[in-house]
Structure 1
Amino acid sequence: MIRKLKQIIGEYYPGFLYDETTSPLLWVFHKVLSRVQMTGEYIEDLRDLSRKGIVVHALKNSSQLNALILWNISKREGITRPVYCHGINMILWQPFTKALRSLLSLFFYNPYKRKFLKEITKQKQTSVIYLRGSEFIGSNYEKDPLLELISAQKELDVPIYLVPQLVTYGRRREKKDKTLIDLLFGEVENPGALRRIINFARFSKMAFVISAEPVNLKEYLDKQRGSSLSPGTVAYLLRRKLIEQIDEEKKAIVGPVLKSREEIIEIVLRDPQLVTFMKDMSDQENKTYDDIFKQSKKYLYEIASDYNEAYIGIWNKVLTWLWNDIYDGVVVDKEGLARMRNVAKKMPFVVVPCHRSHIDYLFLSYVFYHNNIQLPFIAAGTNLLFWPMGHIFRKSGAFFLRRTFRNDILYGHVFSQYIKVVMQEGFPIEFFIEGGRSRTGKMVMPKYGLLSMVIQAYREGACDNLAVIPVYIGYDTVIEEKSYLKEIGGGKKELEKTSSLFKSRKVLRKRYGSVYMNVGEPILLKDYLRSHDLPMEEMSMAERQSFYRKMGYEIVGEINKISVVSPISLVAAGLLCHYRRGISHDDLMSLLDEFYDYLAHRKVRFAATFANKEKALIEALNRFESLGQITRMGPEEDEDDELAETIYSVEDDKRMSLEYYKNNILHFFVPLSFVANSILSTTDDDIPLSKIVEDYSYFKRLFRHEFIFDDTVDDMEEVNNILSYIHDKGMIVGHDIDGEAWIEVKGRGRTLLVPYGGLIHNYIESYWIAMRGTAYLKDKKRQEKDLVKRIQKLGAKMYKKGEISKAEALSRLNFQNAVKFLTEAEILKPEGDEEDSRKDARTFSLTDDKALMESLRHRLFKFM
Structure 2
Amino acid sequence: MIPKFLKKRIFKAPVVSGNTPATEPSDTPQIDGSPIVPTPYTNAPINQLYRKISGQMLDVAVKPKLLGELPEFDQDDQTLRFYVLQDYSRSNSILIDLQTQEHKLPPALVGVNDSAHNIKENAAIIFLHHPHAKENQLSPRLSRLVSAVLQYPELKVRLVPVSILWGRAPEKEDSLFKLLTADNWQDPSITKQLFNIGVMGRDTFIQFHPPQDLRTLINNSLQGDDDEPTDLNSVIFESTTLDTNASDATDSATENTIGVAPNYTVVAAADGNRELVRSLQQQLNIYLDKQRASMLGPDLSDRRNLVDKLVYSPAIKHAIEAEAAETGTSPREARLLAKSYANEMVNDYSHAIIRGFYKFLTWLWTQLYDGVEVHHFERVRELAADYELVYVPCHRSHVDYLLLSYVIYKRGLSIPYVAAGDNLDVPVLGPILRGAVAFYIRRSFRGNALYTAVLREYMHTLITRNTPIEYFIEGGRSRSGRLLPPKMGMLAMTVHSQLRQSNKPVVFIPTYIGYERIMEGGTYIGELKGKPKESESLLGLLKVGRKIERIFGNVHLSFGTPLHLTDFMAKFDVPENSLPADRTDTPLDDKASAMVDNIGVKVMQHINKAAVVTPVSLLSLVLLSAPKSALDEDICREQIALYQGLAQQLPYSSDTVVTDMSPQQIIDYGIKLKLIERIPHILGDIIQIAGKQAALLSYFRNNILHVFILLSFLAALVARNGRIERSRLDNIAMQLYPFLQSELFLYYPAHGLADTLNKKVDSLIAHGLIVELGDGMLSVPEANSRCYQQLQVLATPVEQSLERYFMTLALLAQQGSGNLTENEVVDLCHLLGQRLSVLYADDIPDFFDRALFTSFLGALTRLDYLQKDAETGILTFDQRINDIAHHAKYVLRPEMMQILHQVASLNEEEIAHAITEISNKKQRKFGRKR
TM over 0.5: yes
Give the % identical residues.
Answer: 22
Question: What secondary structure does 2:65 align onto?
Answer: coil
8 A contact 2:572–2:591 mirrored in 1: no
- Distance of aligned partners of 1:705 and 1:257 in 2 relative to their CA distance in 1, 3 Å threshold: same
Which residue pairs with 1:130 in the alignment?
127
Write the letter of the residue equivalent to 2:639.
Answer: L
Which residue pairs with 2:211 in the alignment?
214
Structure 1 Cα separation of the partners of residues 558 and 705 of structure 2: 18
8 A contact 2:350–2:435 mirrored in 1: yes
Match of 2:679 among 618, 625, 633: 633
* 1:791 has 2:832 as partner: yes
**After alignment, is 746-755 or 422-431 more displaced?**
746-755
Match of 2:84 among 58, 81, 96: 58
Match of 1:274 among 312, 316, 328: 316
8 A contact 1:121–1:149 mirrored in 2: no
Which residue pairs with 2:474 in the alignment?
434
Correspondences of 1:26-425 after superposition (within 5 Å): 26-33=55-62, 35-39=63-67, 41-42=69-70, 45=72, 51-83=77-109, 122-123=119-120, 126-134=123-131, 144-150=140-146, 159-175=156-172, 177-180=173-176, 182=178, 186=182, 194-195=191-192, 197-217=194-214, 224-227=232-235, 230-258=272-300, 260-333=302-375, 336-425=376-465
- Distance of aligned partners of 1:291 and 1:831 in 2 relative to their CA distance in 1, 3 Å threshold: farther
Write the letter of the residue equivalent to 2:370.
Answer: D
Match of 1:570 among 599, 603, 618: 618
Which residue pairs with 2:758 in the alignment?
720
8 A contact 1:678–1:692 mirrored in 2: no
1:160-214 superposed Cα distances (whole Å, 9 cap, x missing partner): 4333322111221122x31355567759999976435413321222212122343
**After alignment, is 222-231 or 655-664 more displaced?**
222-231
- Distance of aligned partners of 1:388 and 1:746 in 2 relative to their CA distance in 1, 3 Å threshold: same
Question: What secondary structure does 1:126 align onto?
Answer: coil
Question: What secondary structure does 1:55 align onto?
Answer: strand
Question: What secondary structure does 2:693 align onto?
Answer: helix
Correspondences of 1:618-697 after superposition (within 5 Å): 618-624=667-673, 627=674, 629-636=675-682, 644-650=683-689, 653-683=692-722, 685-687=723-725, 689-690=727-728, 692-697=730-735
Shift of 1:294: 1.3
Write the letter of the residue equivalent to 2:619.
Answer: V
Question: What secondary structure does 1:447 align onto?
Answer: coil
Write the letter of the residue equivalent to 2:289.
Answer: D
8 A contact 2:715–2:794 mirrored in 1: yes
Shift of 1:557: 0.4
Shift of 1:470: 1.0
Shift of 1:264: 2.5
Shift of 1:449: 0.8
Write the letter of the residue equivalent to 2:435.
Answer: K
Write the letter of the residue equivalent to 1:724.
Answer: D
Write the letter of the residue equivalent to 2:308.
Answer: E
8 A contact 1:354–1:432 mirrored in 2: yes
8 A contact 2:508–2:563 mirrored in 1: yes
- Distance of aligned partners of 1:634 and 1:751 in 2 relative to their CA distance in 1, 3 Å threshold: closer
8 A contact 1:249–1:345 mirrored in 2: yes
Match of 1:817 among 852, 865, 879: 852
8 A contact 1:303–1:400 mirrored in 2: yes
Shift of 1:351: 1.0
Write the letter of the residue equivalent to 1:226.
Answer: S
1:488-521 superposed Cα distances (whole Å, 9 cap, x missing partner): 3332221110112221222220221111122222
Write the letter of the residue equivalent to 1:817.
Answer: L
8 A contact 1:679–1:687 mirrored in 2: no
Structure 1 Cα separation of the partners of residues 876 and 150 of structure 2: 89
TM-score by structure 1 length? 0.81
Question: What secondary structure does 1:330 align onto?
Answer: strand
Shift of 1:453: 0.8
- Distance of aligned partners of 1:734 and 1:169 in 2 relative to their CA distance in 1, 3 Å threshold: farther
1:748-806 superposed Cα distances (whole Å, 9 cap, x missing partner): 6765432222012233445566677889989999978984675255325632xxxxxx3
Question: What secondary structure does 2:413 align onto?
Answer: coil
Write the letter of the residue equivalent to 2:836.
Answer: G
Write the letter of the residue equivalent to 1:174.
Answer: E
8 A contact 2:185–2:193 mirrored in 1: no
Question: What secondary structure does 2:298 align onto?
Answer: coil
Question: What secondary structure does 1:41 align onto?
Answer: coil
The number of equivalent residue pairs is 791
Shift of 1:71: 2.0
Which residue pairs with 1:515 in the alignment?
555
1:350-391 superposed Cα distances (whole Å, 9 cap, x missing partner): 111111111111111111112121211111111110111111
- Distance of aligned partners of 1:719 and 1:66 in 2 relative to their CA distance in 1, 3 Å threshold: same
Question: What secondary structure does 1:82 align onto?
Answer: coil
1:115-139 superposed Cα distances (whole Å, 9 cap, x missing partner): x9999993575333421232699x9
Structure 2 Cα separation of the partners of residues 151 and 797 of structure 1: 80
Question: What secondary structure does 1:521 align onto?
Answer: coil
- Distance of aligned partners of 1:203 and 1:616 in 2 relative to their CA distance in 1, 3 Å threshold: farther
- Distance of aligned partners of 1:533 and 1:745 in 2 relative to their CA distance in 1, 3 Å threshold: farther
Question: What secondary structure does 1:807 align onto?
Answer: coil
**After alignment, is 545-554 or 211-220 more displaced?**
211-220
Shift of 1:592: 1.5
8 A contact 1:169–1:199 mirrored in 2: yes
Write the letter of the residue equivalent to 1:291.
Answer: E
Structure 2 Cα separation of the partners of residues 379 and 405 of structure 1: 14
Question: What secondary structure does 1:356 align onto?
Answer: coil
Structure 2 Cα separation of the partners of residues 775 and 226 of structure 1: 79
TM-score by structure 2 length? 0.75
Structure 2 Cα separation of the partners of residues 441 and 190 of structure 1: 58
Which residue pairs with 2:901 in the alignment?
none
- Distance of aligned partners of 1:181 and 1:401 in 2 relative to their CA distance in 1, 3 Å threshold: closer
Question: What secondary structure does 2:64 align onto?
Answer: coil
Structure 2 Cα separation of the partners of residues 715 and 436 of structure 1: 31
8 A contact 1:352–1:468 mirrored in 2: yes
Question: What secondary structure does 1:317 align onto?
Answer: helix
Which residue pairs with 2:522 in the alignment?
482
Which residue pairs with 1:89 in the alignment?
none
1:74-132 superposed Cα distances (whole Å, 9 cap, x missing partner): 3333444333799xxxxxxxxxxxxxxxxxxxxxxxxxxxxx99999935753334212
- Could you say what the CA RMSD is over the residues aligned between the two structures, in angstroms? 4.4
1:537-594 superposed Cα distances (whole Å, 9 cap, x missing partner): 6998555443322211111101101111111111111111123553101111111222
8 A contact 1:379–1:430 mirrored in 2: yes
Which residue pairs with 2:228 in the alignment?
none
Shift of 1:402: 1.3
8 A contact 1:351–1:471 mirrored in 2: yes
Write the letter of the residue equivalent to 2:342.
Answer: L
